[in-house]
Amino acid sequence: MLNMKTVLVMLGESVENLNETELLAKTMGYNVLHKFIQNKTPRIKFLIGSGKVEEIKDFVKEKGVELMIFENLLTPSQTLALEDALKIPVMDRFDLILNVFEERARSREAKMQIELARLKRKKPYIKAVLGRRVKAEHPGYGGSGEFIIHSTMTEINRRIRKMENVLKKFEKRVDEQREKRKEKGKIVSLAGYTNVGKTTLLNALTSAEKDTKDEVFTTLRTKTSSIEKGIFLNDTIGFIRNLPHDLIYAFRVTLSDIRNSDLILLVLDASERMETFLEKKKICEGMLEQIKANTVSTLHVLNKVDKIDGDEINNKKEFVENSVEVSALHGTGINELKRKIRQAFYT
């Protein structure tokens, strides 16, 4: 809901991580009123301490807060306990990322991939909520109550199987298209953290006019254009910290485009401070390993060099091998990048 009054909560101390979650929340149009941070040992019931829950509860009542978003991943029992205590809906980072994906999804397959991830993740929560509702509406439980829960979960599992079968057929079609494209030439894939400028780089390399926005997850389905005769370029889904496993599984078809490339352009934001730059580089490399794309030849593209000086660029280059500096927005370094791409295939 646009402009929904929202609070963010985090167990930990990385303010930068919470700021990223705030960006995701604002992408959805949520009105973030306050951020609560607690750096203590995780608690079983709420994840955070009961005292902090009371503090948040007072704020919720005073400000008319309508939604809580947790930076950390919550168990179904923790979500329910927090909703009971605060009397408002509670979601965690996984739910938030899914909401952003859902907002960005255009194709039938992308929407189905999101629904699949949501159902697989939410099954235990749905079962717990149903159990509570049935107990309230059917005193003594058992009998009809158990039937309601069983039939609902059976229907959810049936829906999951149906979507997985449809996506398998989609995966087969994508594989066939990919093989045909490989017969015509080499495949280069853009990879990198979300909102790093991959689509802008694709436009600069191919003279395409794909839509670019200063937003996260604008690409959920692979976009392909031709750099030149015999070399095709894929723009793929962006990576993000702690991308949930169920989401990786659901988008395995899109992510497989990276794994099946002949060359990966790993795009990094050279204008970010060193600590953030290195952390996101590590996250991206971890994702490539997770999807078994770490054996593909990789060229690091240091983007947004127009925002920093030469010394900063050289400092970043010390931490990357086989790199080229560009400004996708202004076209700086694009010819050199094209030369290195050709060199990867024809020398």
For 161-194, how does the pLDDT look when each residue is reduced to its tens digit (9 = 90+)? 999 999 889 888 888 887 887 788 999 999 999 8
Q: 145 pLDDT exceeds 90?
A: no
Report which residue type is found at 143. Answer: G
In the predicted model, what is the mean pLDDT of residues 202-228?
A: 74
Residue 217: pLDDT above 70? no
Asked whether residue 106 carries a pLDDT value surpassing 80, the answer given is no
Predicted confidence band at 305 (pLDDT cuts at 50, 70, 90)? Answer: very high
Rounded mean pLDDT, 10-24: 89
Pairwise pLDDT comparison (138 vs 29), residue with the higher score? 29
What's the pLDDT score for residue 279?
94
**What confidence tier does 141 reach under pLDDT thresholds 50, 70, 90?**
low
Which pLDDT score is estimated for 16?
Answer: 83
**pLDDT, the chain, mean:** 88
Torsion of CA 225, 229, 230, 232, to 10 degrees: -10
Report pTM: 0.83
Q: Which tokens go with 109?
A: 């397959």
pLDDT tens digit sequence for 221-236: 678 889 988 999 998 8
Binned at pLDDT 50, 70 and 90, residue 247 comes out as confident
Cβ atoms of 118 and 232 closer than 8 Å: no
The burial class, CB within 10 Å (0-12 / 13-18 / 19+), for 114 is buried
pLDDT tens figures, 40-62: 899 999 999 999 999 999 999 99
Question: Going by C-beta distance under 8 Å and a sequence separation of 6 or more, which residues neighbour residue 23?
Answer: 216
Residue 8 has pLDDT above 80, yes or no: yes
Judged against a pLDDT cut of 80, whether residue 220 lies above it is answered with no
Question: b/e for 122-134, b at 16 or more Cβ within 10 A?
Answer: beebebbebeeeb
